Amino acid sequence: MQIAIVDYGRGNLHSVHSGLEKAVELSGVDAKVVLTSDPEVIAAADKVVFPGVGAMGDCYQQLLNSNLDTAVREAFKSKPFLGVCVGMQVLFETGEENGGSDGLGFVKGKVVKFAAEQGLKVPHMGWNEVFHNDHPLFEGIPQAARFYFVHSYKVQPADIAVQQAHCEYGGQFTAAVGADNWFATQFHPEKSHQWGLKLLSNFVKWNPAKS
């Protein structure tokens, strides 16, 4: 099996690659993890990981500039797909950052800023408890397990049914979304030690057709 990490110039690629390689070892699955900016490699991969850091609009534009948007769209529609951090946000339709930005529009909804006037420290940075639904990627992970976050914006899905986990920071916000063959997290599983590694291992083993 081959797992492709999309390299479009935005994302903590070294950490994601290292985390996935550890997850492959933990899972016992015979799999190879590759970093790639080649749409043909992405199309041929069995699973795809879509990371991102920085501003949503910049990530979206860089993806277009890299001519990888079509490959990402097809992967999102057809194979086990994992979005991470801004790689989750870009899946949505629009965002408030930098006066407004477009997203890929794969998931209906928007990305909005945390309200600093509530006395919150923005960005939301550090470890926080995550409460999840009964999704295969959370198998073996307890409620209130702590994951690592770094973000100033949060997603607001148009359909709450896609929310697979939530977190509390100035109120409840969406920490993970997913449906069918795709899943995405606001937190960084590759930086979240035990439980992040467990989630990545679950992704390596995940067969949505049997979920």
Give the CATH number, domain containing residue 160. Answer: 3.40.50.880
**Does position 117 have pLDDT exceeding 70, yes or no?**
no
Number of separate domains in the chain = 1
Residues 6+ apart with CB under 8 A from 124: 114, 149, 150, 151, 152, 169
CA atoms within 13 A on the CB side of 209: 2
pLDDT at 211: 62
**Does position 165 have pLDDT exceeding 80, yes or no?**
yes
Q: Which two tokens stand for residue 47?
A: 């699973």
> What is the pLDDT averaged over residues 117-129?
88
Per-residue pLDDT band at 119 (split at 50, 70, 90) = confident
pLDDT at 9: 81
Per-residue pLDDT band at 79 (split at 50, 70, 90) = very high
Residue-averaged pLDDT of the chain:
94
126-129 LR contacts (CB < 8 Å, sep 24+) = 128/167, 128/168, 128/169, 128/187, 129/167, 129/168
Full domain range(s) for residue 143: 2-210
pLDDT at 20: 97
Instruction: Report, as residue numbers or ranges, the catalytic residues.
Output: 85, 188, 190
**Does position 106 have pLDDT exceeding 90, yes or no?**
yes
